Amino acid sequence: MKSISLNKQYLASFVKEEEIKIHFDKANAINKDLNNLEGTYKGYTGWQILPNEITKEFVEDINKTVNELRKKVEYLLVIGIGGSYLGAKAVISALSNQFAENKVLFAGINLSEQYLIELQDFLKNKKFGICVISKSGTTTEPAVAFRIFNELLNNQVGEKEANTRIIAVTDKSKGALRQLATQKGYKTYVIPDDIGGRFSVLTPVGLVPIAFAGFDIMQLVEGAKANMLTSADNSTYEENIALQYAIIRNILLQKGYLIEILANYNPKMHYIAEWWKQLYGESEGKGGKGIFTASVDFTTDLHSLGQYIQDGPRILFETVLNVQSQPNKIFLGEMEGDLDGLNYLKGKSVEYINQKAFEGTIMAHVEGKVPNIVINIPEISEFTIGQLIYFFEKACGISAMMLDVHPFNQPGVEAYKSNMFKLLGKPTK
């Protein structure tokens, strides 16, 4: 199968190949520590070997669970926040028909009452199940949502039947959700202790919703396995594109490029960028360090943020997701009188036009002194998305550790929680 690849040709005037290779030994030492689950952060790096630990039997169990649930329900409400929903949302959005009705819905992702009311109204006469995702079961946003929709489900079908329509993805032995799941007899899956939320898309956190949506989770895992091989201990510099990407990011940061924009020319990749923003922003933004992560959807945003990218301060660089092959094509015909001036494009596909927009934009941005990295994605499939997930996860761990920050915690997230709990009058233990 085809593999994702890294195109560095648009970096030539910003980062020399020799500069990247200078940092190779340091980055590769970090890579080896990660691969062998060694070093300071070994208790957080289970995601490293996870694809090899996912068995055919485990995947079959997930598929059996969701197939049985589909016999009872039409919709699955996934309740979780941050890494407990973004990975699943990203993969499902990338693989789905953009205009098909969503059968996987999400709650616990905010504290908007209007969002919850409208979701209640939508589900009140629908057959639905719940996949609640939380290690602790006490994170405010998903805990609030679960109370609301568990009650709605109980009112619709009765508690006994409702309990058969709930899947809990949680800690293996402790926490409020584990305790509740044991009491109520929910079907459960485990979030491994050594895998944090934003690295958890290939655990049941992501696999259960993705499987319910009808996609081949085994192929997703196989894609991740394929990318694992490119960053193994014995991989070469040329093979290890995750390591190269991590090094390039750090070099650009040292040169004053403080912002990385992930750009795409296919709207199916929008939520991949949302997942990526959390992965890198929450992993690196600590102690006054880190690259600020943002994203744009081109060509749409060429008519808005494109102006800033082209002519604004030279403090940002772009990483572009370039999907190389589309399954279907629309070809332009000829208009009598050529009133819109597009007859010169007769016989050209829309994707051909989009590709030229990509090429023209990257030329303009590079000429405008904006460094560009291109990640080529042969096609959008479970296999290639699995590759992309593992590529970004591995590069994230290496990149953060090159900055000497802890990639796997999020102390800054606790600040808002502490203040919110005080304002709400939460009892102290």
**pLDDT tens, residue by residue, 330-362:** 999 999 999 999 999 999 999 999 999 999 999
If you average pLDDT over every residue of the chain, what do you get? 94
The answer to whether 282 is a known catalytic residue is: yes
Whether the pLDDT of residue 250 is over 90: the answer is yes
Band (pLDDT 50/70/90 cuts) for residue 170 is very high
Q: Is the peptide bond before 319 cis (omega within 30 degrees of 0)?
A: no
Distance CA 285, CA 287 (A): 7
The answer to whether 417 is a known catalytic residue is: yes
**Token representation of residue 115:** 């969002």
Q: What is the DSSP code (8-state) at residue 268?
A: G
Beta bridge partner(s), residue 75: 128
Beta bridge partner(s), residue 166: 130
Distance CA 29, CA 398 (A): 9
Whether the pLDDT of residue 1 is over 80: the answer is no
User: In the prediction, which pLDDT does 38 show?
Assistant: 74
pLDDT > 90 fraction of the chain, expressed in percent and rounded: 85
**Which CATH code, of 3.40.50.10490, 2.160.20.10, 3.90.470.20, 3.40.50.12780, is assigned to 5-36+222-402?**
3.40.50.10490
User: In the prediction, which pLDDT does 220 show?
Assistant: 98
Give CA angle at 141 (420, 289), nearest 5°.
65
The average pLDDT across 227-235 equals 89
The average pLDDT across 5-33 equals 93
Catalytic, out of 89, 187, 260, 282? 282
pTM given for the model: 0.94
**Nearest Cα residue to 212 out of 383, 62, 51:** 62
Task: Collect all residues with Cβ–Cβ distance below 8 Å to 89 and sequence separation of at least 6.
Answer: 106, 271, 274, 275
Catalytic, out of 16, 124, 346, 417? 417
Catalytic, out of 101, 303, 336, 429? 303
Q: Which CATH superfamily is domain 47-215 in?
A: Glucose-6-phosphate isomerase like protein; domain 1 (3.40.50.10490)
The answer to whether 365 is a known catalytic residue is: no
Task: Collect all residues with Cβ–Cβ distance below 8 Å to 409 and sequence separation of at least 6.
Answer: 44, 196, 286
Measured between alpha carbons, how far is residue 213 from residues 85, 88, 89, 100 in Å? Answer: 14, 10, 10, 11
Domain boundaries, the chain: 5-36+222-402, 47-215
CA torsion sign, 62 to 159 to 133 to 117?
A: positive
Task: Summarize pLDDT for 31-70 with one digit per residue, the tens.
Answer: 888 888 777 888 899 999 999 999 999 999 999 999 999 9
User: In the prediction, which pLDDT does 421 show?
Assistant: 81
Task: Summarize pLDDT for 374-408 with one digit per residue, the tens.
Answer: 999 999 999 999 999 999 999 999 999 999 999 99
Whether the pLDDT of residue 415 is over 80: the answer is no
Whether the pLDDT of residue 429 is over 70: the answer is no
Whether the pLDDT of residue 232 is over 90: the answer is no
Measured between alpha carbons, how far is residue 271 from residues 156, 157, 214, 264, 349 in Å? Answer: 32, 33, 18, 11, 26
- Is there a common fold for 5-36+222-402 and 47-215? yes
